[in-house]
Amino acid sequence: MIRFIAEIDLASRYLHEMGDTEAILYGSAESGESTAMVDLLNELGVQFEYRAIDRDPVAMREWEQLDGDRVPMLRMGNNSIVRGFDRIKLQQLFGWVGC
């Protein structure tokens, strides 16, 4: 349990140190999961940049270069990617602990 809490704390500190523009969410208007992830990230107080792959060709190329096979996809810095909407994983990653 202590190791788990320490890992969450390290992830939270890492994300905080990256700055505001380092969390990038790739999504599309057609994806209900993209909307759900936007809502959850806002609820958790996470600052991120949203890039719509269905309206922005540059965002589409970035998403494809990251082996994008589904949306939403959250890239944090250069080393961490969350593919798909996983509420529990995101809550753990950003330090929210509850039951």
Tens of pLDDT, residue by residue over 26-85, are 999 999 999 999 999 999 999 999 999 999 999 999 999 998 889 999 998 887 899 999
* pLDDT value at 22 more than 90: no
Architecture category of domain 2-93 in CATH: 3-Layer(aba) Sandwich (3.40)
CA distance 91 to 53: 24
User: Domain limits of the chain?
Assistant: 2-93
Predicted structure pTM score = 0.73
pLDDT grade, residue 98 (50/70/90)?
low
pLDDT score of 10: 45
pLDDT score of 20: 41
3-state secondary structure of 61: helix
Amino acid in the structure at residue 7: E
Backbone angles phi, psi at 89, to 5 degrees: -60, -45
